[in-house]
Chain A
Amino acid sequence: MSQTDKSIDINWMLLFLCWLMVTVSATISVFFSSVLEYEPCVLCWYQRICLFPLIFIFATGLFPTFDKSVIKYALPLTIVGGLIAFYHTLLYAGIIPENIQPCSKGVSCTEKYFELFGFVSIPMLSFFAFSTLVTLLIILKRRTSK
């Protein structure tokens, strides 16, 4: 077993971790909307647009072996998703006043549906997922550009 083989395995595992993260996140997201019937607000929809395609992009990058070009395709989605999630988290926390945000029709983006341990909100979970993904992808980028 040479050194390169081992490094490919670690890269594959890291990408697999990314895939696992988005798949679990998407499942939870669909569970919230379809089973618990939480109506997704506008900002949630923008984040979902960034999240859902990643399942297929990451999965494609895993087969037959690790393909580093997946980083290039996945980074824009994760960064945009992360920015929206960050904005949404601030909005939800009341740091940005709600009257300047775009979603007035339908569900309010600050509607409280669910708070884990009393403070972890849905936008916060989303921001956590996206920022972890960005971090993992940057680590992968560093590893592969060596």
Chain B
Amino acid sequence: MKYVLIGATCVILAFVFVVGSNYYKEQQSAKYGFMAEKNSELFIRDHSQTLGSDDAKVYLVEFMDPACETCAVFAPFIKKIMDANPGKIKLVLRYAPFHDGADNFVKILEAARMQGKYWETLDVMFKTQNVWASHGNWQPERLWEVLPRAGVDIKQIKKDMHSPAIAKIIEQDMADVKALNVQKTPGYFVNGKPLQTFGFKQLYQLIQSELDAKYPK
């Protein structure tokens, strides 16, 4: 009898917990879906760097930071999904430099964009992260050693990275980060729907469900 009482309580609590969290997640999804319809500029700004066809019906918005290790790990994974679905997915990169000093790396990346070397620079930054950003120990001087691999003019970057236009981009993105309640990087939204539980498989499923919805077989 005693065991049944305790066991039943545990089961009921676990049940309420699961139902409650599912309900909350559905509500959040609906809320963000509504925001994506009404305020699409929250997800994609004019300054936002994008990759993929303009005709794509699935928009993958990623809030990231060049110094974030998980973002670097996800980059090839996303590329693979995009390659497998040519023309159907558009990647939108937004900035969420949460850590102190992380905004400097965003500035370097945006300065490289002025030289037309955005994706090359991001690729080099991600691949050499262990050199200049291992375990939160950021060493920008070491980034300067590896960055020429992207074919950029370092002197020019050092000059451009402090431009007020770039500061404005970061400011705008951080404002949207707050509005969309992004708390960790990378933060993903697929056609406005947030990735509820983090993981490769979960992101793949979310993208796939949107692909199935927009491109019925």
Question: What residues of chain A have their CB less than 8 Å away from a CB belonging to chain B?
Answer: 12, 16, 19-20, 23-24, 27, 30-31, 34-37, 39, 59, 62-63
Question: What residues of chain B have their CB less than 8 Å away from a CB belonging to chain A?
Answer: 2-3, 5-6, 9-10, 13, 16-17, 20-21, 24-25, 183
Among A16, A30, A35, point to the contact of B24 (Cβ < 8 A): A35
Once the chains bind, are B9 and A23 in contact (CB under 8 Å)? yes
Using CB atoms, name the residue of chain B closest to A59.
B6
Complex CA gap A20/B10 in Å reads 9
| Contact A12-B20, Cβ < 8 Å, known A23-B13, A27-B13 | no
Give the interface centre of A30, A34, A35, A37 by most chain B CB atoms within 10 Å. A35
Among A16, A24, A30, A35, point to the contact of B5 (Cβ < 8 A): A16
Q: Is chain A's interface secondary structure helix, strand, loop, or mixed overall?
A: helix
Complex CA gap A62/B16 in Å reads 24
Using CB atoms, name the residue of chain A closest to B196.
A35
Shortest beta-carbon distance, A52 to chain B, in Å? 14
9 new A-B contacts at CB < 8 Å, known A12-B2, A23-B10, A35-B21: A16-B6, A19-B6, A24-B13, A27-B13, A30-B17, A31-B20, A35-B20, A35-B24, A63-B3
Shortest beta-carbon distance, B100 to chain A, in Å? 12
| Contact A62-B2, Cβ < 8 Å, known A23-B10, A27-B13, A31-B17 | yes
Using CB atoms, name the residue of chain A closest to B181.
A37
Using CB atoms, name the residue of chain B closest to A39.
B183
Complex CA gap A96/B216 in Å reads 60
Once the chains bind, are A20 and B9 in contact (CB under 8 Å)? yes
Once the chains bind, are B24 and A36 in contact (CB under 8 Å)? yes
Chain A residue numbers with a CB within 8 Å of B16 are 27
Chain B residue numbers with a CB within 8 Å of A34 are 21
Shortest beta-carbon distance, B189 to chain A, in Å? 16
* 24 residue pairs bridging A and B, Cβ less than 8 Å apart: A12-B2, A16-B6, A19-B6, A20-B9, A23-B10, A23-B13, A24-B13, A27-B13, A27-B16, A30-B17, A31-B17, A31-B20, A34-B21, A35-B17, A35-B21, A35-B24, A35-B25, A36-B24, A37-B183, A39-B183, A62-B2, A62-B6, A63-B2, A63-B3
